[in-house]
Chain A
Amino acid sequence: MTIQRYIYSHTNPITFWSAGLIILGFLNTWFTKVPYITDTAWIIASVIAAAPIVLRAIGALKARVFSIELLVGIAVIGAFAIGEFEESAIVTFLFLFGSYLEQKTLAKTRGAIQSLTEMAPTTALLVNDDDTTEEVDVDDLEEGNLVLVKAGGQIPVDGTITDGTGYVNEASITGESRPINKQHGDHVYSGAMVESGTLKITATQVGDETTFSKIIELVEEAQDTKSPAEKFIDKFAQYYTPAVLVIAILVFIFSRDLRLAITVLVLGCPGALVIGAPVSNVAGIGNGAKHGILIKGGDVVESLAKVDTIVFDKTGTLTTGKMTVASTKQYTTDHSLLTGVAQIEQTSDHPLAQAIVAHLTAQSPDTPVTMSTETIKGRGMIGQWHDAPLYVGNAALLKDHQISLTEDQLSDLHAMQDTGQSTVLVGYAGQLAMILGVADTVRPEVPGALAAMKRQGIKHLVMLTGDNQATAQAVAESLGIDEVHADLLPADKVTFVKKFQDMGRNVAFVGDGINDSPSLATANVGIAMGGGTDVAIETADVVLMQSSFTALSHAVGLTKKTSANTKENIAIAILTVAFLLIGLVYGYIYMASGMFVHEASILVVIFNAMRLIGYKPRTAAATPAQPQQLATN
């Protein structure tokens, strides 16, 4: 056993020595021509390089697995038997050297997850009851422990800030590198970096329970969750390898040509075929993980790549959810009225009122005087301004107080409502003074990202929402969404998803993971946006850690690229085998050259997959369009 271990751990030096001996053999053949040196060098090279291969083959055979090493091992022993020392030496060397390069390049495709793992915190500063601190291993922390993190340090737990403020960078979680101001009571993630300030954090989740650990585990498992194509290939390889062995034996029986039989063994190695598909997925999923996009496996990559219909849940996924004043119509020249309106609205915590206050105080930062106001339910508010009543509310409020709107004013009002704005009317001194239109703001990156997805081949963008039709329609039209269904309950949304599927479409459902798990589960691909919650991470097939449409379009583009990459790799592998067989038939390919082509094809598929590591979607130079104002209720 110890010899075995020694050989395994010295595979690289063995490869090196084997190369040296092979070169020595050739030099002697060409120049010095000393008898026996060449054969001796090649024999030693074959034996030392064959050792790890044969040992691995036997190990696999004990576990009842027919491995590639078995094919190569038998071929090498066969070559040895017929005195083809040059071939056996070169084949074993190429196989070992190929494995070495494979390992190095595979490490690159796995680099993303590797770097994530390395970002995981290892130690923490635990604050004891007597306020002293001690450095402990993160595994020794418990829920409820208080930890101290200084500027430049890494947060070791998921928890809540109990003392201090600072700027925290959550790039390791969200993929988005920017400092976020965190203070008392804010939630922080393990793995985030504190850029400035000192924080005391009470742990709510530690060790494997933290979001960061769960992300790593999820990505690790995702990279090994196979796509249907991979599963098929694995099954295929399971029968393929023994089949090659049987064919080689048959070839030997019928042709009595051992050399031909062992050449078949080497050419039959399934090399690029078994590595091609997984390596694409690993690189693709790794790219996603680096950008805060968690794709749960090769099967999800395949299904998302096929999606042609994306369904958005709630208008809220498209908008910032922050109400702002989008337009104003003024019918009076008395600007001081604005101050009065601001004072009235300040006494209300209604979202519309707060939007108006924010708008007005930005325009005229007068010191507010507190005013006594009266709230009329379902109508609005009444205050006093220069000893006359000031009405702020809906049309009904004004009507109740004998203020009627002119034709022009009515058409202005309707025009604003038609674009989905919520309207607030101001009445003073017997007439309408102004109309304020309040609307939700579309997230600035949405238009560009939606356009990018259309280019990526998404045919139908659908919005299902509980909002009213006018609001939803306005949002949809401004964004180029194809289909809108408003006034829906969560159950109705599932029905729509099923209806689209019955029409033969592949549906992705984008939700926030709250109340929409049925739709997330029903859709071909469930995408949770703005993840971080356990529910979202568990139910969805794809989790976008940052709630951004750029990430969504990245995910769509990435899976399409990855899926195409997988197919390219399978094609490369099959073409290689076909090329080798034709070469064999016409007598151009022998063992060593066959092995060389094989190893080269393996490197080609790995390099092809590596292109995915740097994938970035082409976003139309995000035109920072004038803030588009739209509404939701």
Chain B
Amino acid sequence: MSKVTMKLDDLTCPSCMTKIEGALSKKDGVENVKVLFNASKIKAEFNTDKVSAESLEAAVTDLGYTVKSAKVKDL
């Protein structure tokens, strides 16, 4: 398992959280998605065999959010 922390452009609507959380959680191999509204960060654990950090980033971008930086850490 790895953990990715993505820093987004400032989030302004609380409903974005549900949106992002829902979209990422639906992906296979992703667990514990946490969207920090005020810090504008996403933290998610994922299985490197099933899904890549890049594809998670792409999923967030497709929802309409800019990913400023992403940091992946092995757990």
Contacts and interface: CB of A to CB of B under 8 A. Distances in A.
B66 interface: yes
A59 B63 contact: yes
A286 to B, nearest CB: 9
Given A55-B64, A67-B15, A68-B13, A223 B39 contact: yes
Interface string A487-519: 000000000000000000000000000000000
Nearest to A100: B12
Contact of B36 (A102, A221, A234, A275): A221
A386 interface: no
Nearest to A221: B36
Given A224-B36, A278-B38, A282-B38, A67 B13 contact: yes
Contacts of A63: 18-20, 22-23, 26, 63
A223 B19 contact: no
A106 interface: yes
B36 to A, nearest CB: 5
Given A4-B62, A4-B64, A65-B22, A60 B15 contact: yes
Contacts of A113: 38-39
Main secondary structure of the interface of A (DSSP, over half): helix
A456 interface: no
A278 B63 contact: no
Contacts of A8: 64-66
Contacts of B14: 234, 237, 274-275, 278
Interface in B1-31: 10, 12-15, 18-20, 22-23, 26
A224 B38 contact: yes
A296 to B, nearest CB: 14
Interface in A248-295: 274-275, 278, 282
B19 A67 contact: yes
Given A5-B61, A107-B10, A220 B39 contact: yes
Interface string B21-54: 0110010000000001111010000000000000
Nearest to B35: A224
Task: Select the residue from B15, B18, B20 with max chain A CB neighbours within 10 A.
Answer: B15
Contacts of B39: 110, 113, 220, 223-224
A64 B22 contact: yes
A59 B12 contact: no
A9 interface: yes
A9 B8 CA distance: 13
A99 interface: yes
Contacts of A282: 38
Contacts of A59: 19, 62-64
A81 to B, nearest CB: 25
Contacts of B65: 8
A65 B37 contact: no
A335 interface: no
A220 to B, nearest CB: 4
Nearest to A99: B12
A8 B16 CA distance: 14
B19 A60 contact: yes
Nearest to B24: A63
B15 A65 contact: yes
Contacts of A107: 10
A68 B63 CA distance: 15
B41 A103 contact: no
Contacts of A55: 64
Contacts of B18: 60, 63, 65
Contacts of A4: 62, 64
B38 A62 contact: no
B15 to A, nearest CB: 5
A56 B38 contact: no
A62 B22 CA distance: 9
Nearest to B39: A220
Given A9-B66, A65-B19, A278 B37 contact: yes
A381 to B, nearest CB: 60
A103 B66 contact: no
Nearest to A279: B38
Contacts of A5: 61, 64
Nearest to B14: A274
Interface string A36-65: 000000000000000010011001101111
Task: Select the residue from B12, B18, B73 with max chain A CB neighbours within 10 A.
Answer: B12
A175 to B, nearest CB: 19
Contacts of A56: 64
Contacts of A585: none
B12 A68 contact: no
B10 A106 contact: yes
Contacts of B19: 59-60, 63, 65, 67
A1 interface: yes
Contacts of B15: 60, 65, 67-68, 237, 274
Nearest to A208: B73
Contact of B23 (A1, A62, A208, A275): A62
Nearest to A222: B38
B10 A103 contact: yes
A223 B39 CA distance: 8
Nearest to A101: B12
Nearest to B66: A9
A628 to B, nearest CB: 43
Interface in A66-120: 67-68, 99, 102-103, 106-107, 110, 113
Contacts of A64: 22
Nearest to B15: A67
A220 B36 CA distance: 7
A224 B37 CA distance: 6
B69 to A, nearest CB: 12
A113 B40 CA distance: 11
16 contacts: A1-B62, A5-B61, A8-B64, A56-B64, A60-B18, A62-B23, A63-B20, A63-B63, A65-B18, A99-B13, A110-B10, A223-B36, A224-B36, A274-B14, A278-B14, A278-B38
Q: Which 4 A-B pairs have the closest CB atoms?
A: A63-B22, A220-B39, A223-B38, A67-B15
Given A4-B64, A59-B19, A220-B39, 19 more contacts: A59-B62, A60-B18, A60-B19, A63-B26, A65-B15, A65-B22, A68-B13, A68-B15, A102-B12, A107-B10, A110-B38, A220-B36, A220-B38, A223-B36, A223-B38, A224-B37, A274-B14, A274-B15, A278-B37
